[in-house]
A and B are shown apart, each in its own frame.
Chain A
Amino acid sequence: MTRPAWGLAIGAACALGTQPGSAQRVTIGPQFVLASYREVSSGLQYQGAGFGGAAVARWRRFSAEAVVTRVTFNPSGSTATLKSFDATQIDAWLAYDIAPYASLEAGLTHRSPSPEFGAQSVGAVRVGARASSEIGPGATVSFRADYLAAPQFSGGGHASLSLDLGLGLDVRLAGRLHAIAAYAFQHIDRKDNPGGTAPDTPAPIQQSLARLGLGVGF
């Protein structure tokens, strides 16, 4: 994912968030993050915690969401040679409501580790749908399923099936204050062929991420 693409996505989200209008609603706030990361085999397991921030803007039938998280992953398996690494992930969505309870969305996702070779760096385009329901005054629960198209990896390879599932909860606590909880499960069926001659070697990537935080609505 190139820098201009990220700039375009974030700029679009900000543009939606700053437009005047009575139907406009913006929620922004910090989040605590829990995450699990696996790669290639059951021996590469990491768990970690971190922090992040999310911003959601709504304008008429359009909505935009941007999430940035930074998680420190520590090895959780028995392999002693694994080292910790930090992962910064940026997700962005643009959605259009096709019904009061359903919307189509498209966006980007990008995760980069630090140090660079601690894990695979991943970038992809999201295309999917989201269903949401109001379960009470100011309380909304949502479910999201995105297909990650055209994934790119720092270590090369390709993925025929890459999906991202999400569960979201937004509860207005009082006035402008919201409590936000979100779960995202990302499965990338990556295959790699280092030598170029042998058959493709499966090198799947799997991450589950939970975000818990507060948001202030405007």
Chain B
Amino acid sequence: MRHCGWLLVLVVCLAPGAGAQTPQNADLRLALQAYDNLDFTRAITLARRALGVRMSGADQARAYELLGFAYSATDSQVKAVDAFKQTILLDPDRELDPSKISPKITSLFYSALGQVLVVRQLRVDSARFVGGQGTVPIRFTVTSPARVRTRAVSGRTTVLIDSSVATGTVNLRWPAQLANGDLVPAGDWLIIVEAGAAQNSFSASQAVRIAYGSVDTLPHLTSLPGYQELPETEVAPQTWRPAGLAFLYTSGALIGTLGLESTTLGSGSKRELSVVGAAALVAGVVMTLRKPAPRPAEGNILYNRLLHEQLARRNQEIAQQNVTRRKQVELSVAALPKPSGGR
């Protein structure tokens, strides 16, 4: 019953290496066919025979993985773990898809992973930053506690990035600077991660290309975002105030004249007052009917002045920043295609 249960599980799972390229070794191909036919004993025999001859690293890893699967199916857990350990050493980045592989096989795989020392999933993210103001993200996983040294090497130049005891996922930030603080020279660099514990050691590497570029300068502003200049003149609403004032002043002069006139001298012709009073009234009416001239809007003028001062101050800051930026270098770091895993 127990065997039948595992067989059902394995039937619904993909065969090891499914979707990968067809192996060159004939025995390995036959072993894969036997595994597909649920003939695990024959699959183990053929896989072991295939490992007895010279094969590529990928085929070797595939053969050991097939062995791990087959031993798992036959309940030979120790042998399965040993086979998976060999697989991991040959291909440290190898992963099993938990959604397609049975939990039992997956657990054995991770059990094997914890028993070997490898550096997995070394990733150097592409980055672009101003020299001295940014870092290159580096991350990897160490499967067992170990002294981990991370270096960057280009030709004879070696830069120590980090040295620490670590296990699990490690995240590093490399400022791409030499020990004296200068930026690393442009060119191809190799990020090497070396892990060592007792007699075991492992290293993984990732090639990156570092290029220099000029830092973009900031454009000068012609306006402040979100702020607009206001009109500096405004047209007052049309009123009868001019005519009213002219009438008031003329009336004052008329009343004063009539009040001060001496009775003994008789009443005058008021010719002079008529002329000037009429001129004042006409001027008042004309000013009333005339379209008001735009007058300075003091509040808006003050606002615009402050806006211009702010804009000038901001442009001055931009100019200073551009002076600094022209002296800076922009580093572009790009990861290159990964070479073979590790050893």
Q: Quick check: is B276 within 8 A (CB to CB) of the other chain?
A: yes
Q: Quick check: is B4 within 8 A (CB to CB) of the other chain?
A: no
C-alpha gap A143/B276 in the complex (Å) = 12
By the criterion CB–CB under 8 Å, are A209 and B272 in contact?
yes
With contact pairs A141-B245, A206-B265 given, residues A35 and B272 touching in the complex (Cβ less than 8 Å): yes
With contact pairs A167-B276, A183-B253 given, residues A135 and B287 touching in the complex (Cβ less than 8 Å): yes
Q: Quick check: is B231 within 8 A (CB to CB) of the other chain?
A: no
With contact pairs A141-B280, A165-B253 given, residues A187 and B287 touching in the complex (Cβ less than 8 Å): no
Majority SS at the chain A contact face: strand
C-alpha gap A182/B241 in the complex (Å) = 21
Interface size class of B (residues with CB under 8 A): 35 or more
Most B CB contacts (10 A, CB to CB) among A41, A143, A171, A209 go to A143
Q: Quick check: is B246 within 8 A (CB to CB) of the other chain?
A: yes
Interface residue total, chain A, C-beta cutoff 8 A:
39
Q: Mark A167-210, 1 if CB is under 8 A from B, else 0.
A: 10101000000000111010101000000000000101010111
By the criterion CB–CB under 8 Å, are A139 and B273 in contact?
no
Q: CB-CB < 8 A to B269: which residues of A?
A: 36, 47
Within B305-332, the residues touching A (CB, 8 Å) are: none
Q: Quick check: is A145 within 8 A (CB to CB) of the other chain?
A: yes
Q: CB-CB < 8 A to B287: which residues of A?
A: 135-136, 139
A137 contact from B271, B279, B293, Cβ within 8 A: B293
**Nearest CB of B to A173, in Å:** 11
Task: Name the CB-closest residue of A to B262.
Answer: A204
Q: CB-CB < 8 A to A137: which residues of B?
A: 293, 295
C-alpha gap A141/B286 in the complex (Å) = 13
By the criterion CB–CB under 8 Å, are A34 and B271 in contact?
yes
Name 22 interchain pairs, CB-CB below 8 A, sorted by A.
Answer: A36-B269, A45-B265, A135-B283, A135-B287, A136-B290, A137-B295, A139-B287, A141-B245, A141-B249, A143-B249, A163-B256, A166-B253, A169-B283, A182-B276, A183-B253, A185-B260, A206-B260, A206-B262, A206-B268, A208-B268, A208-B272, A208-B273
Q: Which 6 residue pairs of A and B lie closest in terms of their CB atoms, listed nearest first?
A: A136-B287, A210-B272, A42-B266, A135-B242, A183-B276, A167-B253
